[in-house]
Amino acid sequence: MTTIGDDWIAHRRSSDRELVGWIRPAGDDWQAMSLFAEPLADPADWDVAEDALENTSLSWMAEPWIFARDGRNIRVRLVEFRPDLDGHPGRIVVKTDDFGAIDVPYELFELSWPPPAELRPLTAQDRAAPWP
Protein backbone atom coordinates (compact mmCIF):
# COMPACT_ATOMS: atom_id res chain seq x y z
CA MET A 1 0.00 0.00 0.00
CA THR A 2 1.45 3.33 -1.07
CA THR A 3 1.18 6.24 1.30
CA ILE A 4 1.95 9.89 0.76
CA GLY A 5 5.42 10.64 2.05
CA ASP A 6 6.31 13.66 4.15
CA ASP A 7 8.69 14.68 1.36
CA TRP A 8 6.01 14.62 -1.36
CA ILE A 9 5.09 18.03 -2.77
CA ALA A 10 1.46 18.69 -3.63
CA HIS A 11 0.94 19.84 -7.22
CA ARG A 12 -2.08 21.98 -8.01
CA ARG A 13 -3.39 22.66 -11.50
CA SER A 14 -2.37 26.17 -12.49
CA SER A 15 -5.80 27.13 -13.88
CA ASP A 16 -7.87 26.53 -10.73
CA ARG A 17 -5.47 25.34 -8.00
CA GLU A 18 -7.14 21.90 -7.87
CA LEU A 19 -4.90 19.21 -6.38
CA VAL A 20 -3.95 16.84 -9.23
CA GLY A 21 -1.18 14.83 -7.61
CA TRP A 22 2.22 15.03 -6.03
CA ILE A 23 5.84 15.20 -7.04
CA ARG A 24 8.15 13.07 -4.95
CA PRO A 25 11.94 12.93 -4.83
CA ALA A 26 13.45 9.95 -6.63
CA GLY A 27 17.20 10.06 -6.13
CA ASP A 28 18.46 13.05 -8.11
CA ASP A 29 15.19 13.18 -10.06
CA TRP A 30 11.51 13.79 -9.38
CA GLN A 31 8.51 11.54 -9.99
CA ALA A 32 4.91 12.53 -10.74
CA MET A 33 2.40 10.65 -8.58
CA SER A 34 -1.35 10.48 -9.18
CA LEU A 35 -4.02 11.21 -6.60
CA PHE A 36 -4.10 7.45 -6.05
CA ALA A 37 -0.40 7.68 -5.09
CA GLU A 38 0.64 5.73 -8.20
CA PRO A 39 3.49 6.76 -10.51
CA LEU A 40 2.38 8.63 -13.63
CA ALA A 41 5.81 8.65 -15.26
CA ASP A 42 9.36 7.52 -14.71
CA PRO A 43 11.58 9.71 -12.52
CA ALA A 44 12.87 12.72 -14.47
CA ASP A 45 13.59 16.44 -14.16
CA TRP A 46 11.16 18.57 -12.15
CA ASP A 47 9.70 20.14 -15.31
CA VAL A 48 8.96 16.72 -16.81
CA ALA A 49 7.20 15.60 -13.61
CA GLU A 50 5.15 18.82 -13.57
CA ASP A 51 4.20 18.35 -17.22
CA ALA A 52 3.09 14.77 -16.54
CA LEU A 53 0.72 16.03 -13.84
CA GLU A 54 -0.57 18.97 -15.88
CA ASN A 55 -1.16 16.81 -18.97
CA THR A 56 -2.84 13.99 -17.07
CA SER A 57 -4.62 16.28 -14.61
CA LEU A 58 -7.92 14.78 -13.50
CA SER A 59 -8.93 13.32 -16.88
CA TRP A 60 -8.21 9.77 -15.72
CA MET A 61 -11.04 10.13 -13.20
CA ALA A 62 -13.63 10.44 -15.97
CA GLU A 63 -12.76 7.05 -17.40
CA PRO A 64 -14.68 3.89 -16.46
CA TRP A 65 -13.07 1.56 -13.94
CA ILE A 66 -13.55 -2.07 -12.95
CA PHE A 67 -14.46 -3.06 -9.40
CA ALA A 68 -14.09 -6.77 -8.62
CA ARG A 69 -16.81 -7.79 -6.18
CA ASP A 70 -18.24 -11.17 -5.29
CA GLY A 71 -16.34 -12.90 -8.09
CA ARG A 72 -17.47 -10.61 -10.89
CA ASN A 73 -16.09 -7.49 -12.52
CA ILE A 74 -18.42 -4.52 -12.28
CA ARG A 75 -17.97 -1.47 -14.49
CA VAL A 76 -17.99 1.62 -12.24
CA ARG A 77 -17.32 5.35 -12.29
CA LEU A 78 -15.43 7.33 -9.68
CA VAL A 79 -17.84 9.60 -7.85
CA GLU A 80 -15.65 10.93 -5.07
CA PHE A 81 -12.26 10.39 -3.62
CA ARG A 82 -10.25 12.01 -0.94
CA PRO A 83 -6.68 10.97 -0.18
CA ASP A 84 -5.37 10.61 3.37
CA LEU A 85 -4.34 14.16 4.20
CA ASP A 86 -3.49 16.01 7.39
CA GLY A 87 -4.40 13.05 9.59
CA HIS A 88 -7.83 12.60 8.04
CA PRO A 89 -8.56 9.19 6.50
CA GLY A 90 -9.30 9.16 2.80
CA ARG A 91 -12.05 7.38 0.96
CA ILE A 92 -13.18 6.50 -2.53
CA VAL A 93 -16.78 6.26 -3.67
CA VAL A 94 -17.66 4.49 -6.91
CA LYS A 95 -21.02 3.82 -8.51
CA THR A 96 -22.10 1.23 -11.01
CA ASP A 97 -21.84 2.70 -14.49
CA ASP A 98 -25.16 4.03 -15.74
CA PHE A 99 -23.75 4.73 -19.25
CA GLY A 100 -25.17 8.25 -19.07
CA ALA A 101 -28.80 7.24 -18.55
CA ILE A 102 -30.58 9.21 -15.84
CA ASP A 103 -33.26 6.60 -15.12
CA VAL A 104 -31.03 3.59 -14.51
CA PRO A 105 -30.67 2.36 -10.92
CA TYR A 106 -27.14 2.31 -9.59
CA GLU A 107 -25.30 1.15 -6.52
CA LEU A 108 -22.67 3.09 -4.54
CA PHE A 109 -19.62 1.46 -2.97
CA GLU A 110 -17.41 3.21 -0.42
CA LEU A 111 -13.79 2.05 -0.47
CA SER A 112 -10.73 2.93 1.54
CA TRP A 113 -7.90 5.09 0.24
CA PRO A 114 -5.51 4.25 -1.27
CA PRO A 115 -7.68 2.22 -3.60
CA PRO A 116 -7.82 -1.52 -3.00
CA ALA A 117 -6.56 -3.95 -5.64
CA GLU A 118 -10.19 -4.72 -6.47
CA LEU A 119 -10.48 -1.31 -8.17
CA ARG A 120 -8.56 -0.94 -11.40
CA PRO A 121 -8.72 1.04 -14.65
CA LEU A 122 -10.74 -0.42 -17.52
CA THR A 123 -8.59 -2.32 -20.02
CA ALA A 124 -9.06 -3.01 -23.73
CA GLN A 125 -10.13 -6.55 -22.84
CA ASP A 126 -12.85 -5.14 -20.56
CA ARG A 127 -14.12 -3.04 -23.46
CA ALA A 128 -14.44 -6.03 -25.81
CA ALA A 129 -17.98 -7.11 -26.62
CA PRO A 130 -18.96 -10.38 -24.90
CA TRP A 131 -20.28 -11.84 -28.14
CA PRO A 132 -18.36 -12.89 -31.30
pTM assigned to the model: 0.73
Check: CB of residue 119 under 8 Å from CB of residue 111.
yes
pLDDT at 109 over 70: yes
Q: What is the pLDDT of residues 17-51, one digit of tens each?
A: 888 889 999 999 999 998 888 899 999 999 999 99
pLDDT given at position 132: 56
Three-state DSSP class for residue 60: helix
Sheet holding 19-26, edge to edge: 9-12, 19-26, 29-33
* Cβ 90 vs Cβ 83: under 8 Å: yes
